[in-house]
Amino acid sequence: MSEEQRTGWIVGATFAALLALSAALMAAFNHSVHVADAFTRKDEREMVDRYLEGRVRTVIIGQTGQLVWDETMRHAVARTDTNWMDRELGMFPWTNQGAQETMLVEPDGTLVRGWRQGHYDPAYPYGPLRWQVEAALDLARSNRRISGAMARFERRGGTLWPVDRRGAPLTRWASSLIWRGGRPMLLTVAAIVPDRDYALLKAEPRYLVSLRVMDSQVLRALGADLLLPDFRFVSRAPRDPALNILARKSADGRPVGYFVWTAQLPGPAIWQAAAPLLATWIFLFLAVLAGGVMIVRRMRDTTRHLQASEAQAQYNALHDPMSGLANRLYFAERLRGELDIVIAQRAQGGQGDVFVAYIDLDAFKTVNDTMGHHVGDELVTQVAQRLRDGLLRTDLIARFGGDEFVVMRRTTGGLGAANALGRQVVGLMAEPFIISGHSLGVTCSCGISWGPGQTEDADELLRRADISLYRAKQGGRARYRCYTNGMEATERLARELELELRRAIAADELEAHFQPIVDLSTWQIEGFEALLRWPHPQRGDIGPGVFVPIAEQCGLMVPLGTWMLRRVFTQCRNWPACDLSINLSPIQIMAHGFVETIQSLVEETGISPRRVILEVTEGVMLDRSDNVAQSLRTLQGMGFRIALDDFGIGYSSLSYLRSFQFDRIKIDRSFVQNIEADHDAQSILGAIVALGQTLRMKVVAEGVETELQRRLVHAAGCELVQGHLFWPALPADQACALLTRNAADRMRQVI
């Protein structure tokens, strides 16, 4: 887990804990409020209950004057003085005690006499009441409610009755709520007992039953006492949770109705009181949460930023910024790693090699020098893209700087696989590159080595690929070479020659030799091709085929070419009339200021440009922009003729002939040498000569060594020839001497 994740976890857990704690606190608080509410409800109910009980007790106590009185006792037993009873048990309770109805009943509930609103009612509707009265009597008898402090029960006549300390019987009573005529009423029953002559109590006494209406007025008065403004009595319990309810049962336990009032709960008040505190808490919680989130986010951003820049730095350290390919460091590291893996696999009986292809563009320096660095940069980018697109996804491609690319491929197959890789790489550059409107035919050379088949050392592997590349370059453009053991010595020699060549140019040790070009129609020497010679003091003569490529690669070609032009122009300006062909390296022509150089050489030496034929190879046509063609046209304008050299090898095609108005085409030696065996070559030569005539280009056959070749090229229409059949390249004095002699005679002698 990363540091960032860990912090995230800790902060997250803290918040979760904080949140849980807050929720628990809230729940606890809410629960307490509920509990407080419940307690309050219960308290209210108890208060109401006690209060109502007190009210009933007050009613009973209010009646005590009638109930606990020898007089009433006697009348109730005798029942003879109805006037007395009507006055004391009917009218008095109605007028003084608010009893709408009263009844005198036997202990078994039988009605003795009933009064309504103070008056005796002979048809008193006792029927519907009776069971309620009987239930109330049972309740009263069950001893629960006794007015006055009870000391004991005493048997008085036929009954066991409660008496106080003095022996005075106590009135037993009970109450219940009933519905009568759709109105709630308080029903009370109370025993009639003597107050002095206790002996009057001989059997269970009679009871006085009273009914008092609990109308809204009464209830309102009760509510005012209880400080419950909406106190009321209803037959069905309401569902409103804001209300508090006290259920009432009749004396025999049946539900009668409910006292209902708005509960004076503390909950809302508590919430209200706690609100600022809660709000503060929530605010603080949110603030802490927001702060935490911000901190985590900031941390995460910072970490990401750091990681990104770290990754970027690491990427930069291992990649080439221009091409986006791996750099030398990364490549070397991976190469070592892959080699180790393959070596380990081989030890287990595995197969395979790590192949390294060292790639170098053939004319990069020329492109850079002649077209500018931005074109060079774009070329590098496009080459990188081609390699990426064209090679295997598993290949590692690197740029070592400049126009040097290196590819690493892991596969089996030894030399065969190396050849395949080389062909693939070279093939990828076959199509021209399009850069800022220019079409550049840039090819590449490639050197390949592999290990552990050839060597187990990564550095050595790279070095050998580099040597192979060098050899491929020497062989010409668009070639690849696979490393062989013999290369080592040759490569060493090349490095030595490079140093010595510099010295030789500086010491003017080189020479120009001249090979005659013969006109077969006149048998005259028509001109000479000037060829570089290097008589090396220790190594003997070294041919231009060896040192010209070295000069081209190490940047010596321009000074060497200029040296050669000056030498030829100087040596030949006084020769009898003849043409002089001079080879130009593409590097020379593309070099900045070449036309000016040659111009100043003409002025310096006084040679006539009309005598001079400049030989260029198709390599110069690689810049398909107008630059080279423009230079060549300028040179033609100055009087020089231009020959296309080495025609018939490599990528030569007839299309080159149409791309520029050459004055000559020189058929390559290898083509001429094929002509004896290959009939197609003959007819192709015929076609080239015919095309040359159409395009007004003379055709020269090079390297004619045999009489048969001479005949065949002549038969094909070629009139100018050069080759060992006539003369090899000769030192300047000998060539000049040839001219002054009757060359034609000499030739007839030779042939």
The yes or no reply on residue 564 touching ligand C2E (CB under 6 A) is yes
Q: How many CB atoms lie within 10 A of CB 438?
A: 18
Cα separation, 442 vs 439, in Å, equals: 9
Residue 618 interacting with Ca ion (CB under 5 A): no
Among positions 88, 491, 615, 623, the unique one binding Ca ion when judged by CB under 5 A: 615
Query: Looking at beta carbons only, is 462 or 564 nearer to ligand C2E?
Result: 564
| Shorter beta-carbon distance to ligand C2E: residue 256 or 685 | 685
Q: Does 527 sit near ligand C2E (CB under 6 A)?
A: no
In angstroms, rounded to a whole number, what is the distance separating the alpha carbons of residues 170 and 174? 13
Rounded alpha-carbon distances, angstroms, from residue 173 to 67, 88, 134, 377, 579: 11, 19, 12, 120, 161
Q: Is 710 in the site for ligand C2E (CB under 6 A)?
A: no
- The sheet carrying 207-213 orders its strands as 119-120, 111-116, 101-105, 207-213, 183-191, 171-180, 146-147
Specify the residue, 254 or 573, whose C-beta has the smaller distance to ligand C2E.
573
> Packing angle between helix 3-67 and helix 216-226, nearest 10 degrees?
120
Among 383, 406, 532, 622, binds ligand C2E (CB under 6 A): 532
Interacting residues of 395 by C-beta distance below 8 A, sequence separation 6+: 407, 408, 409
Signed CA dihedral, 313, 315, 319, 320: sign only:
negative
Closest CA to 594 of 624, 626, 620, 562: 562
User: One symbol per residue from 497 to 526: x for binding ligand C2E (CB under 6 A), - otherwise; what is it?
Assistant: ------------------x-----------
Q: Give the nearer residue to ligand C2E in terms of CB position, either 102 or 588.
A: 588
Structure tokens at 606: 């006084």
Which residues pair with residue 644 across a beta bridge?
616, 665
The pair phi, psi for residue 41, each rounded to 5°, is -60, -45
Nearest residue to 533 via CA among 735, 351, 346, 364: 735
- Side-chain half-sphere CA neighbours of 628 within 13 A: 31
The one segment of 110-118, 333-341, 534-542, 582-590 that binds ligand C2E by CB under 6 A: 582-590
Q: Is 395 in the site for Ca ion (CB under 5 A)?
A: no
Distance of CA 60 to the CA centre of its chain: 90
Q: Is 209 left (phi over 0), alpha (psi -120 to 50) or beta?
A: beta
* Span interacting with ligand C2E, options 28-36, 631-639, 653-661, 720-728, rule CB under 6 A: 720-728
Say whether residue 729 binds ligand C2E (CB under 6 A): yes
Closest CA to 403 of 455, 440, 348, 353: 440
- C-alpha–C-alpha distance, residues 33 and 41, integer Å: 12
CA neighbours within 13 Å on the CB side: how many for 427?
9
| Residue the block writes with tokens 């009646």 | 63
588 belongs to the binding site for Ca ion (CB under 5 A): no
Q: Which is nearer to ligand C2E, 15 or 523 (by Cβ)?
A: 523
Judged by CB under 5 A, does residue 44 bind Ca ion? Answer: no
Minimum CB distance to ligand C2E smaller for 477 or for 669: 669
Give the residue, chosen from 232, 399, 438, 669, that forms a contact with ligand C2E under the rule CB under 6 A. Answer: 669
Residue 646 contacts ligand C2E per CB under 6 A: yes
Q: Which is nearer to Ca ion, 449 or 583 (CB)?
A: 583
617 contacts Ca ion (rule: CB under 5 A): no
Q: Residues 526 to 545: which contact Ca ion by CB under 5 A? A: none
Q: Would you count residue 703 as binding ligand C2E (CB under 6 A)?
A: yes
Of 108-116, 358-366, 382-390, 718-726, which part binds ligand C2E (CB under 6 A)? 718-726
CB of 646 to Ca ion, least distance (A): 4
Which region holds residue 553: left if phi is over 0, alpha if psi is between -120 and 50, else beta?
Answer: alpha
| Residues in a beta bridge with 700 | 666, 720
Among candidate residues 473, 540, 484, 479, the one with its CA nearest the CA of residue 509: 540
> Which one among 583, 588, 673, 722 touches Ca ion, defined by CB under 5 A?
583
User: Residue 544: which of ligand C2E, Ca ion, none does it interact with, CB under 5 to 8 A by kind?
Assistant: ligand C2E
Nearer to ligand C2E, 218 or 730 (CB): 730
Tell me how crowded residue 16 is: count the other CB atoms within 10 A of its CB: 10
Binding residue for ligand C2E (CB under 6 A) from 723, 735, 736, 739?
Answer: 723
Q: Is residue 585 at the binding interface for ligand C2E, with CB under 6 A as the rule?
A: yes
Task: From 261-269, 311-319, 420-428, 695-703, give the range in contact with Ca ion by CB under 5 A.
Answer: 695-703
Query: For every residue of 69-118, which 3-state class applies, written as one string?
Result: CHHHHHHHHHCCCHHHHHHHHHHHHHHHHCCCEEEEECCCCCEEEEEECC
Q: Among positive and negative, which fits the CA dihedral 215, 217, 220, 226?
A: negative
Q: Are 442 and 590 in contact (CB under 8 A)?
A: no
Q: Of the candidates 437, 537, 545, 576, which one interacts with ligand C2E according to CB under 6 A?
A: 545
Q: Which residue stretch of 96-104, 510-518, 542-550, 643-651 sits at the interface with Ca ion (rule: CB under 5 A)? A: 643-651
Among 176, 210, 327, 583, binds ligand C2E (CB under 6 A): 583
CA 385, CA 379: separation in Å to the nearest integer? 10
Give the DSSP H or E segment for 422: helix 414-428
Q: Could you tell me the two tokens for 453?
A: 């088949």
Which residue's CB is nearer to ligand C2E, number 167 or number 543?
Answer: 543
Q: Please, are residues 174 and 140 in contact by the beta-carbon 8 Å criterion?
A: yes
> Beta-carbon neighbour count of residue 525 at 10 Å?
24
Q: Which does 705 bind (CB under 5 to 8 A by kind): Ca ion, ligand C2E, none?
A: ligand C2E
Q: Which stretch binds ligand C2E (CB under 6 A): 185-193, 600-608, 635-643, 697-705?
A: 697-705
What string marks each residue from 591 to 630 as x (binds ligand C2E by CB under 6 A) or -? ------------------------x---------------
Which range binds Ca ion by CB under 5 A, 198-206, 557-565, 646-654, 731-739? 646-654
Stretch that binds ligand C2E, among 36-44, 123-131, 411-419, 537-545 (CB under 6 A): 537-545
Q: Which is nearer to ligand C2E, 663 or 705 (CB)?
A: 705
- In the complex with Ca ion, the residue whose CB is nearer, 469 or 672, is 672
Binds 703, which of Ca ion, ligand C2E, none (CB < 5 to 8 A, cut-off by type)?
ligand C2E
CB of 571 to ligand C2E, least distance (A): 13
Nearer to ligand C2E, 202 or 724 (CB): 724
Of 67, 136, 531, 598, which lies in the binding site for ligand C2E, with binding defined by CB under 6 A? 531
The answer to the question of residue 474 lying near ligand C2E (CB under 6 A) is: no
Q: Is 646 in the site for Ca ion (CB under 5 A)?
A: yes
Count of residues in contact with ligand C2E, rule CB under 6 A: 24
Q: Assess 645 for contact with Ca ion (CB under 5 A).
A: yes
Tell me the residue ranges of DSSP E strands in 618-734.
Answer: 641-647, 664-667, 698-701, 720-721, 730-731
722 binds Ca ion (CB under 5 A): no
Quick one: which of 93, 441, 527, 544 contacts ligand C2E (CB under 6 A)? Answer: 544
Minimum gap (Å) between residue 366 Cβ and ligand C2E: 14
Strand, coil or helix: 247 = strand
**Residues lying near ligand C2E in the complex (CB under 6 A):** 515, 531-532, 543-545, 548, 561, 564, 583-585, 615, 645-646, 669, 702-705, 722-724, 729
* Binding positions for Ca ion, rule: CB under 5 A: 583, 615, 645-646, 702
